[in-house]
Amino acid sequence: MSPPSKPLAGLKVVELGTLIAGPFASRICAEFGAEVVKVESPDGGDPLRKWRKLYEGTSLWWFVQARNKQSITLNLKHDEGREVLKKLLAEADILIENFRPGVLEKLGLGWDVLHALNPKLVMVRLSGFGQSGPLKDQPGFGAVGESMGGLRYITGFEDRPPVRTGISIGDSIAALWGVIGALMALRHREVNGGQGQVVDVALYEAIFAMMESMVPEFDVFGFIRERTGNIMPGITPSSIHTCADGKHIQIGANGDAIFQRFMRAIGRDDLADAPDLADNAGRDARRDELYGIIDRWAGSLPLAEVEATLLRAEVPASRIYSAEDMFADPQFLAREMFLAAKLPDGKPFKMPGIVPKLSETPGGVEWTGPKLGEHNDQVLGRLGYSTEQIAALRNSGAI
């Protein structure tokens, strides 16, 4: 029996992206069956190839971020390089780009040109501040988007400066919005008989859209949410606690019935039965007292015993996982969150599994991130270029 077709099989995606936001968006498309052609500069390609931990000169991150993609090199400052790109885009469904606004226009590849070339093309544009507004021409990375969008302001402890999350979350969230927008645009095109359109994602807006009740709380009450460390203000108890062996655990016991189970599990029936602690408002009024009690309980036991107690009581909790914890965890393993792959020299390694899980048409990984320009001949051949023409493009510096 042949494996099921992936849900995006048949879609053609061209990526003009570097580093994180654009490439992550196209990676998702590639994992679910789209044919993704990543266009890179002949002069070194995507800088991500050299970011963080390198294996024989190539980033391990690269092998994940570019999996299932075809890499071609095009010099977009070269007339013939741009002509190749136009041929690619003439038959593409989606273009994903994260240049600074105006860069493609200066190359003669703005939306008006591309839409005339291919009226069904969906163009996903990821940038710091979007394609309009007074800041549109400014460079903006994920860290800037996280700062402007409100995330950094509320992250950290109240008596210290704001801190970053441990990953480039702004770029990745923007990528998710880009994919969502592209799929919406494709539905409009295919179901409503519409044409292609621009999906304009600003990094700061991608974060701003996640900021929960920030806008109405400020507008109605003038309330500005501040940094509160590990606790959730107004939602009690939910915090991180340190166990006797120095390891940490997140406990979320803020549901009414959950709180009662939790208190009984740690021998505090008096708190489980206290009328004023029966709802969240009452618990939040005694927040410091409750956190002190939980701190002392967790601090008296090793992590494994704390986990076992909470598991038996059905209290939502998790140790603060490191990569080492994940590799040994049965939940990660049961859901195939580590895929076996091989580096170019044959060395086996693990890469993260596919998210989300689709029951009928799951995504998958066919190959890891390719060498720079690995698919030049293959892709250009599909576009109708002969072996001699490809050699001429290479000699002229177009590819």
pLDDT, tens digit, 9 for 90 and up, residues 169-224: 999 999 999 999 999 999 999 999 999 999 999 999 999 999 999 999 999 999 99
Residue among 17, 40, 28 at smallest CA distance from 375: 40
Half-sphere exposure of 187 (CA within 13 A, CB side): 6
pLDDT bin (cut points 50, 70, 90) of residue 232 is confident
From the candidates 171, 256, 269, 270, give the one annotated as an active-site residue.
171
H/E stretch holding 198 reads: strand 198-202
Q: What pLDDT is recorded for position 41? A: 96
Half-sphere exposure of 256 (CA within 13 A, CB side): 10
Q: What pLDDT is recorded for position 234? A: 87
pLDDT, tens only, 118-166? 999 999 999 999 999 999 999 999 999 999 999 999 999 999 999 999 9
Where do the domains of the chain lie, and which CATH numbers do they carry? 12-210+336-396 (3.40.50.10540), 238-319 (3.30.1540.10)
Q: What pLDDT is recorded for position 3? A: 63
DSSP states of 84-115: HHHHHHHT-SEEEE-SPTTHHHHTT--HHHHH
Q: Which one is predicted more confidently, 324 or 1?
A: 324
Q: Average pLDDT for residues 223-247, to the nearest whole number?
A: 94
What residues does 37 pair with on adjacent strands? 14, 70
Burial code of 50-84, b = ≥16 C-beta within 10 A, e = fewer?
eeeeeeeebbbbbbbbbbbbbbbbbbbebebbbeb
DSSP character at residue 152: G
What residues does 201 pair with on adjacent strands? 126
Q: Taking the chain, what is the end-to-end CA distance rounded to the nearest angstrom?
A: 41
pLDDT bin (cut points 50, 70, 90) of residue 247 is very high
Residue among 148, 167, 157, 133 at smallest CA distance from 51: 167
Q: Are the C-beta atoms of 241 and 251 separated by less than 8 Å?
A: yes
pLDDT, tens only, 4-40? 689 999 999 999 989 999 999 999 999 999 999 999 9
CA 97 – CA 38 distance, rounded (Å): 10
pLDDT, tens only, 53-112? 999 999 999 999 999 999 999 999 999 999 999 999 999 999 999 999 999 999 999 999
Residue among 331, 374, 325 at smallest CA distance from 353: 331
Residue 1: is its pLDDT beyond 80? no
pLDDT bin (cut points 50, 70, 90) of residue 233 is confident
Annotation says 171 is catalytic = yes
